[in-house]
Amino acid sequence: MLQVEEKSIEMQRTAKQASKVLRVESMQKDIVRVEYAVRGEIAIRAEELRKQLSVSPNSLPFTRITNCNIGNPQQLAQRPITFFRQVAALVDYPDLLRSESNLFKPDARERAAKYLAAIGSAGAYSHSQGVPIVRREVADFIEKRDGFAADPENIFLTAGASPAVQLVLNSLISHPKVGIMIPIPQYPLYTASIALFNGTAVPYYLDEAKNWGLSKEELARSLAKARSEGVEVRALCIINPGNPTGQCLSLENMNEVVEFCKKENIVLLADEVYQTNIYKPAERPFHSFKKVVKSKGPEYDNFELISFHSVSKGMVGECGRRGGYFECTNIDPEVMAQFYKIASISLCPPVHGQLMVGLMTNPPKEGDPSYPEYRKEMDDIYQSLVRRSNTLAKALNKLEGVSCNEAEGAMYLFPTITLPRKAVEAAKALGKQPDDMYCMELLNETGVCVVPGSGFWQKEGTWHFRSTFLAPENQMGEFAESLARFHEKFMNKYR
Amino acid sequence: MLQVEEKSIEMQRTAKQASKVLRVESMQKDIVRVEYAVRGEIAIRAEELRKQLSVSPNSLPFTRITNCNIGNPQQLAQRPITFFRQVAALVDYPDLLRSESNLFKPDARERAAKYLAAIGSAGAYSHSQGVPIVRREVADFIEKRDGFAADPENIFLTAGASPAVQLVLNSLISHPKVGIMIPIPQYPLYTASIALFNGTAVPYYLDEAKNWGLSKEELARSLAKARSEGVEVRALCIINPGNPTGQCLSLENMNEVVEFCKKENIVLLADEVYQTNIYKPAERPFHSFKKVVKSKGPEYDNFELISFHSVSKGMVGECGRRGGYFECTNIDPEVMAQFYKIASISLCPPVHGQLMVGLMTNPPKEGDPSYPEYRKEMDDIYQSLVRRSNTLAKALNKLEGVSCNEAEGAMYLFPTITLPRKAVEAAKALGKQPDDMYCMELLNETGVCVVPGSGFWQKEGTWHFRSTFLAPENQMGEFAESLARFHEKFMNKYR
């Protein structure tokens, strides 16, 4: 009886859905095709478990969800930079500027007053390309970083790097055979956006054995294969420092990439959002692709480069503000006018995100009243990231069948896991990738949420997961232990 | 010699551009095709003049640019609501919660503490669909407004209404013959987005003679015409109160629209961002389409409706925060899962925008410490909008050949201008629409920036412009006078 009723309800539901205008079958098919793993099935399950814990705290074998699936530092108790937040609060509520409170140092007051004079109010729409004085701050930052001129007219402020990358990819993909070269493994923003705009992802593989290095031979192989399939390759995406892989490219390697793009007439898209998350600064300092291109002299004066940056990463970690920028180098002004037009349909990026871009690129300087506190906060976060990265890499490398490169940059480790044949078969029976199954079991048993390697794409027959190393330092020991306990149990189960 | 040099520079430029990968000719063609007037040629010219004035204040026949081209209240000196900004500042800089400052009332402190407990930090990514407790606040607001249940799971917080409308239109437009019915005149977000997603705009005309009313006969005509051309009409957009037209639909009219959509199997998209800008509340109160649909009983239980709202309008006017929401009524849960997936690629809407949605929908209540100030601020802004709307309508109706409906809602007047034949010919000679030429001359001579009717689409052979009535009250007299002087001169010039 129950079965019959259920079936009848199911049939009703289907009939009701079938009569709808807006249903998955009739939706824009590129939208339906998109896959996005960082907030996919496992993240949704983590949210369910979090809700369950808030209602019945003792109903699960763990007491909290540890979100290592996403680079969201302030969710994991990283404190914001005081100077940045003081300026934000003063801009929100300018009456504070007139108060006697000694909470605010004079340079925070000055900066807030300067921003307010430029924007009128944080509640007003700004210029669609971004507040002009903030774009000036960004240009000054780039000039100082690279030693080459930067023009505020070539800088677009955005609601973080993700919509910026999407705008540029949408512009580039004019037919389904337009190819965009992407690293494998990659941040799924790229595969998701290329699917959404109905282009062709052209994968090139990073070499795990060489610390996720990039070889010009592999770039050439990837391009030749795509071209042989009739794909018109227009752009090459580089994530440096890498996500999920954490590698930091050498200057030599970067020069090879730039020469390759020039020779092959390909636009270079440089995702440099982790440019201050550099953990081996002596061996592997950060260089921007802008600097590399500009250093190559007049022969490269027509080299098309778009570089992305964000307030969400680094030691800033202000993800929720949605702030970022992209800089156009040698991009046709008429194309930039099109970028401006599309940006203007959504009016402007969030003003608070824009101001955070200004603060990040123009922080307190030596001698400023807020400098000592700013310096200490930045250094403390940085040192803690270094320690946590090392602790986690060590813990992972101790696990049976797990091998992990140390992070040169970014916020992630991306260990390989060699899984027993039985586990691979069990996953297959469930219609899942083996690393999907591993990560789901890890979540259900320990509350630790990581992202399976399949979401980033990976070399066939290899399995990985990505974990941030952002868990609070005082939880790292417990985190590593529960990971080890789970892993041993999992391996024994499927041995 | 000079000519030769110029030609050579031009040729070089063209050669340089032609060698680029990313150029307008090779870009995604839907992007290039988009037109967006609110921030188009005239807005760009206004920005140039503003720059000129800041460098040489006496170089133009006016001393400032008056931006009546965009509903941006806080750009024009509208003060933000104190309670909202206090909460925002406390969330930005929680040390203020622990300070003794008597600037903050207890309810502002409580609200900030509540939000902080829910989000951790304004710098953390939130749930991609929006902070759960804010979605609960929105649902409570809708229930109270309409008298019908609302479910936070059907509510998506967004970076303002514009990206929300874009997400929904992108989902609906699965092939170029998908038709979206839009009012003419319309807010150009609609024509721009339909062009961007390569669908078909299906215009229905509002009747200027009947105070921009909407007739079911016109809806039927528009639909029949589209269908006869092989267009698959999937959705009907209504902007209520209207933009640029300012009309407020009667309950009778709304019932006709809902019945029409049901009969014809069309999704209703209700842009209700001006729902609190209601200037004739006795004759023309606001009703939500959600309430109208729910009032029609079980026969309408499968009626597909998506409703949009924003923090940018009303008396709130927090445009720069980028906050808004959409509510799905009877939308297939699988389709909502797709909305969620696409939202998640951009991680989350700006957290400050989300909190502003919470504050707007859950403001201080009678008896709360901040209520008297909140009430007074809201009432003062509202009364001033009523006065400014009337002043401007009167001034416009005095001009030769100009006729203007009074605003029932929204923030705009949209007068018809009957132009002399010579003006129409002069515009034609310039390759411009006559109202484009009128608005450009108005800007160049008075500094007043309005948007030509052609940007909103209009009945052929009629000319209009849209002006906000947001100029500060103490400037309204001067504004009206300079408009009158310009208009007389323009008419005499082309008589």
List, for residues B294-331, the tens digit of each pLDDT value: 999 999 999 999 999 999 999 999 999 999 999 999 99
CATH number (domain holding residue B232): 3.40.640.10
Q: Which residues of A touch B349 (CB under 8 A)?
A: 322
Task: Please identify, among A361, A391, A411, the residue that sits at the C-terminal boundary of a domain.
Answer: A361
Q: Are residues A356 and A386 in the same domain?
A: no
Q: Does A411 touch chain B (CB under 8 A)?
A: no
B343 with B427, same domain: the answer is: no
Percent of residues, chain A, with pLDDT higher than 90: 80
Q: Measured between CB atoms, does B14 come within 8 Å of chain A?
A: no
Choose one of A361, A391, A407: the last residue of a domain: A361
| Residue A349 sits at the chain B interface (C-beta within 8 Å) | yes
Give mean pLDDT, residues A353-378: 98
Q: Tell me, what's the pLDDT at B275?
A: 97
Q: Is residue A113 part of a domain?
A: no
Q: Domain end: B361, B392, B419, which one?
A: B361
Question: Which one of B10, B13, B20, B24 makes the best mutation probe of the A interface by having the most chain A beta carbons within 10 Å?
Answer: B20
Of A19, A89, A342, the CB nearest to B31: A342
- The whole-number average pLDDT for the span B447-451 is 93
What is the reported pTM? Answer: 0.93
Whether the pLDDT of residue A44 is over 60: the answer is yes
> Where do we find the tokens 């020779």?
A263
Q: Are residues B180 and B61 both part of a single domain?
A: no
Same-domain status, B356 and B398: no
Q: What is the pLDDT, as a whole number, of residue A470?
A: 92
A35-39, A248-252, A459-463, B79-83: the lowest-pLDDT one:
A35-39
Q: Which two tokens stand for residue B122?
A: 């304004």
Domain shared by A237 and A198, yes or no: yes
Asked if B351 is an interface residue toward chain A (Cβ–Cβ < 8 A), one would say yes
In a domain, residue B370? The reply is no
CA–CA distances in Å: residue B95 to residues A322, A474, B104, B113? 23, 23, 13, 11
User: For residue A197, which residues of chain B lie inside 8 Å, CB to CB?
Assistant: 28
| Contacts with A109 from chain B: Cβ below 8 Å | none
Residues A322 and A210 in one domain: yes
Do residues B254 and B205 both lie within one domain?
A: yes
Question: B293 lies in a domain?
Answer: yes
Q: What is the ipTM of this complex?
A: 0.93
Under the banding of pLDDT at 50, 70 and 90, the label for residue B16 is low
Closest to B124 in 3D by CA, of B461, B352, B421:
B352
The encoded tokens of residue A485 equal: 């306990």
Q: Are residues A152 and A297 in the same domain?
A: yes
pLDDT at A102: 82
- The closest alpha carbon to A60, from A44, A39, A46, A43, belongs to A46
Q: What is the pLDDT of residue B102?
A: 82
Residue A52 lies in domain: 34-77+382-494
Asked whether residue B451 is domain-assigned, the answer is yes
The answer to whether residue A107 sits within a structural domain is no
Given this model, what pLDDT does residue A2 score? 41
Question: Which residues touch A282 (CB under 8 Å, ≥6 apart)?
Answer: none
> In the prediction, which pLDDT does A35 show?
81
Domain count along chain A = 2
Residue in chain B nearest A13 by alpha carbon: B332
Distance from CA of B360 to the nearest CA of A (A): 13
Nearest-Cα distance to chain A for B90, in Å, is: 7
pLDDT at A38 over 70: no
Tokens 């609060």 identify what position?
A89
- Note whether B322 contacts A: Cβ–Cβ < 8 A: yes
Residue B206 lies in a domain: yes
Q: Three-state secondary structure along chain A?
A: CHHHHHHHHHHHHHHHHHCCCCCCCCCCHHHHHCCCCCCCHHHHHHHHHHHHHHHCCCCCCCCCCEECCCCCHHHHCCCCCHHHHHHHHHHHCHHHHHCCCCCCCHHHHHHHHHHHHHHCCCCCCCCCCCCHHHHHHHHHHHHHHHCCCCCHHHEEEECCHHHHHHHHHHHHCCCCCEEEEEEECCCCHHHHHHHHCCCEEEEEECEHHHCCECCHHHHHHHHHHHHHCCCEEEEEEEECCCCCCCCCCCHHHHHHHHHHHHHHCCEEEEECCCCCCECCCCCCCCCCHHHHHHHCCHHHCCCCEEEEEECCCCCCCCHHHCCEEEEEECCCHHHHHHHHHHHHHCCCCCHHHHHHHHHHHCCCCCCCCCHHHHHHHHHHHHHHHHHHHHHHHHHHHCCCCEECCCCCECCEECCEECCCHHHHHHHHHCCCCHHHHHHHHHHHHHCEECEEHHHHCCCCCCCEEEEECCCCHHHHHHHHHHHHHHHHHHHHHHC
In the structure, what pLDDT confidence band is assigned to residue B19 with cuts at 50, 70 and 90?
confident
Q: Which CATH number fits the domain that encloses residue A405?
A: 3.90.1150.10
Same domain membership, residue B355 and residue B473: no
Nearest chain A Cα distance for residue B341, angstroms: 7
Partner residue facing A31 (CB), from B22, B101, B171 = B171
Residue at B376 is within a domain: no
Residues B309 and B429 in one domain: no
Chain B residues whose beta carbon lies within 8 Å of the beta carbon of residue A126: 320
Instruction: Examine the domain organization and report whether B315 and B428 are in the same domain.
Output: no
Do A386 and A469 lie in one domain? The reply is yes
Q: What is the pLDDT of residue B17?
A: 64
Q: Which positions in chain B touch A17 (Cβ < 8 Å)?
A: 332, 334
- Kindly report, residue by residue over B335-379, the tens digit of the pLDDT: 999 999 999 988 899 999 999 999 999 999 999 999 999 999 999
According to DSSP, residue B104 is labeled S
> Is B112 among the domain residues?
no
